């Protein structure tokens, strides 16, 4: 089995694959500082909770946009699983060629999403990730990463509302029954969700128009992506496990049978 670890700004998402099948997935918070021992024990416990013994893990691949957790996390994988993990970084085989002005500025998570969307659905493809930030990345039919748009995520926008406006409360992020808000909470929910739908549709249309690549497949992922995908016909596919699948695809390109270290 191969363990994929996606280190995002809010959560660390872990997937366990048997070939192409995602056997289990679980999350840990990113912002809580942990030692390598804490990471190691937590990962082993969560694997066991999913009926997977840690010795069944033959290899691991990590994509991270949070550098300050990597020392402890990588150390945990080495110490507790006996595996030297593959890191998604410059020089690794991904199947994606970045042709932007500053390729090194493209985050590992975006490369992984691009690899997944292109590998699973072909190109040209526009991949949307509704995470801490909402990102829109365009890949052409040859697997070239052409451009990207970065916007505040829904949670960031919500947090700005209730932290910077003294009389606005912290609310549940959900789609209200109507855009016609009748109180403070539903008016905020309407602004957040319908505002995100409008932003999403405009950026998709403008990207497809200016790129002039012909028909473009639109694939979305990310925790709150389902809410938006359900409200627009411009998103063709919503895949909550897109990033984990992309890491598994990238792992296969490395042609490494096992990352186990000799004891």
197: nearest Cα among 179, 209, 177: 179
Reported in sequence order, the residue ranges of 113-261 that DSSP labels E, i.e. its strands, are 125-130, 133-139, 144-152, 217-221, 237-238
Write out the two tokens for 20. 């192409």
* Residue 178 CB-density burial (10 A; 0-12 exposed, 13-18 middle, 19+ buried): exposed
The H-or-E segment that residue 156 falls in is helix 154-164
Reported in sequence order, the residue ranges of the chain that DSSP labels E, i.e. its strands, are 2-7, 11-18, 21-29, 59-64, 86-87, 97-98, 125-130, 133-139, 144-152, 217-221, 237-238
CB atoms near residue 85 (< 10 Å): 20
Q: Of these residues, 20, 37, 59, 109, which one is catalytic? A: 109
Longest dimension (CA), the chain: 65
DSSP string, 32-90: S---HHHHHHHHHHHHHHTT--GGG--EEEEEES-GGGHHHHHHHHHHHH-B--EE--T
Angle at 103 between CA 94 and CA 7, to 5 degrees: 60
Q: Is 109 tagged catalytic?
A: yes
In contact, 105 and 212? CB cutoff 8 Å: no
Q: Give dist(CA 138, CA 126) in Å, integer.
A: 5
Catalytic center residues:
109
């Amino acid at each position: 089995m191969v363990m994929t670890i996606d280190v995002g700004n809010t959560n660390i998402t872990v997937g366990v694959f048997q070939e192409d099948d995602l056997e289990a997935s679980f999350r840990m918070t990113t912002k809580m500082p942990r030692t390598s021992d804490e990471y190691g024990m937590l990962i082993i416990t969560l694997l066991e909770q999913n009926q997977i013994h840690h010795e069944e893990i033959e290899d691991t691949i990590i994509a991270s946009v949070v550098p300050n957790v990597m020392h402890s996390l990588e150390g945990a994988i080495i110490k507790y699983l006996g595996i030297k993990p593959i890191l998604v970084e410059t020089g690794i085989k991904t199947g994606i060629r970045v042709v932007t002005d500053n390729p090194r500025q493209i985050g590992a998570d975006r490369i992984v999403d691009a690899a997944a969307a292109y590998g699973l659905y072909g190109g040209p493809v526009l991949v949307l990730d509704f995470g801490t930030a909402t990102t829109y990345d365009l890949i052409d039919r040859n697997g070239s990463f052409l451009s990207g748009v970065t916007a505040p995520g829904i949670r960031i926008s919500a947090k700005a509302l209730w932290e910077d406006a003294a009389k606005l409360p912290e609310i549940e992020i959900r789609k209200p029954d109507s855009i016609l808000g009748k109180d403070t909470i539903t008016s905020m929910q309407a602004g957040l969700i319908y505002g995100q739908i409008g932003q999403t549709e405009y950026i998709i249309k403008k990207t497809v128009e200016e790129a002039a690549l012909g028909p473009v497949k639109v694939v979305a992922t990310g925790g709150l992506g389902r809410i938006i995908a359900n409200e627009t016909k411009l998103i063709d596919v919503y895949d909550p496990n897109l990033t984990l699948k992309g890491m598994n695809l990238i792992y296969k390109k490395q042609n490494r049978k096992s990352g186990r270290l000799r004891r």
